[in-house]
């Protein structure tokens, strides 16, 4: 009897600790969307909501703000911009595939590195740019949340979820999509972690770009990109060597 009691205590402790551990990370899936179930009073049952419609082509892989949750202590942040073809050229253009990103030209100089504990303070201090506080802004905003791993083990992710959900309402929401890091993001992150020089032209890229059969820095890639209705490019937040001055005479 004593052995059985001891066994039950151990199981209970393990179960509680396991539950606590599960709350410390977010597991990425292929279809991340709001999983709040819908209650049907007629049948007295709950049903999962239908998946949302696919985002516009422009938001298939990137948004103006991309937040990468790295380890438990670091967060990376960068921006992109969508460049449309001129109106007279659009008739002959095609939309890119939703299944493969284009090469955006991201480099380590365009990525901000933040400590996880500082992320929310950073957004609050720069609210006029990000407008993530739903209590004060009425327009919709959209961001991409990214991880280089299968799970997000970063407290900053949960802090961000609380921050952008401070006042749930129909208008003025911060919308987001969660995905794994792209091949290009992984290469840039690798250089940020190691301090190695980033030379994208000498990397052995796969063909997982634009149509799934094309490597960057090839004539085929350039030809396909010219036919696209729009392209996404990384945007420089702070220029490198911003504080440099010319030699004093």
pLDDT score for 222: 95
pLDDT score for 48: 57
User: In degrees rounded to 5, what are phi and psi of residue 176?
Assistant: -155, 155
pLDDT score for 184: 98
Measure CA 11 to chain center. Answer: 38
How would you class 153 by CB atoms within 10 Å of its CB: exposed for 0-12, middle for 13-18, buried for 19 or more?
Answer: middle
pLDDT score for 5: 44
Distance CA 122, CA 127 (A): 8
CB within 8 Å of 163: residues ≥ 6 apart = 120, 123, 132, 133
User: In degrees rounded to 5, what are phi and psi of residue 47?
Assistant: -130, 145
Measure CA 119 to chain center. Answer: 14
Task: Please give the structure tokens belonging to residue 97.
Answer: 């595939």
Distance CA 113, CA 77 (A): 7
pLDDT score for 6: 41
Q: What is the CA radius of gyration of the chain?
A: 22
Distance CA 63, CA 16 (A): 39
Would strands 230-235 and 74-84 be described as parallel, antiparallel, or unpaired?
Answer: antiparallel
**pLDDT tens series, the chain, 249 aa:** 554 344 333 333 333 433 333 445 677 764 444 444 555 667 766 555 555 566 788 889 999 999 999 878 899 999 999 999 887 677 778 888 889 999 999 999 999 999 999 999 999 999 888 888 776 777 778 899 999 888 888 999 989 988 887 555 556 678 888 899 999 999 999 999 999 999 999 999 999 999 999 999 999 999 999 999 899 999 988 777 776 777 665
The pTM (predicted TM-score) of the whole model is: 0.77
pLDDT score for 96: 83
pLDDT score for 47: 58
């Amino acid at each position: 009897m004593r052995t059985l009691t001891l066994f039950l205590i151990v199981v209970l402790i393990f179960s509680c600790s396991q539950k606590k551990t599960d709350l410390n990370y977010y597991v990425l899936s292929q279809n991340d969307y709001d999983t709040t179930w819908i209650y049907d009073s007629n049948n007295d049952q709950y049903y999962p909501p239908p998946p949302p419609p696919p985002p516009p082509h422009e938001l298939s892989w990137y948004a103006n703000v991309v937040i990468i949750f790295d380890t438990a202590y670091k967060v990376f942040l960068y921006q992109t911009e969508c460049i449309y073809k001129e109106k007279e050229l659009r008739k002959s253009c095609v939309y890119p595939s939703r299944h493969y990103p284009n090469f955006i030209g991201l480099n380590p100089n365009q990525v901000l590195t933040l400590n996880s504990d500082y992320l929310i303070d950073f957004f609050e201090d720069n609210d006029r740019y990000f407008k993530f506080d739903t209590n004060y802004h009425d327009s919709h905003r959209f961001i991409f949340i990214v991880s280089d791993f299968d799970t997000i083990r970063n407290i900053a992710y949960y802090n961000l979820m609380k921050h952008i959900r401070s006042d749930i309402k129909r208008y003025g929401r911060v919308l987001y999509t969660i995905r794994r890091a792209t091949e290009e993001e992984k290469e840039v992150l690798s250089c940020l972690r190691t301090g190695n020089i980033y030379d994208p032209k000498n990397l052995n890229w796969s063909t997982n770009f634009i149509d799934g059969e094309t490597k960057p820095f090839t004539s085929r890639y350039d030809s396909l990109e010219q036919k696209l209705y729009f392209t996404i490019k990384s945007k420089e937040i702070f220029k490198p060597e911003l504080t440099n001055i010319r030699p004093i005479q």
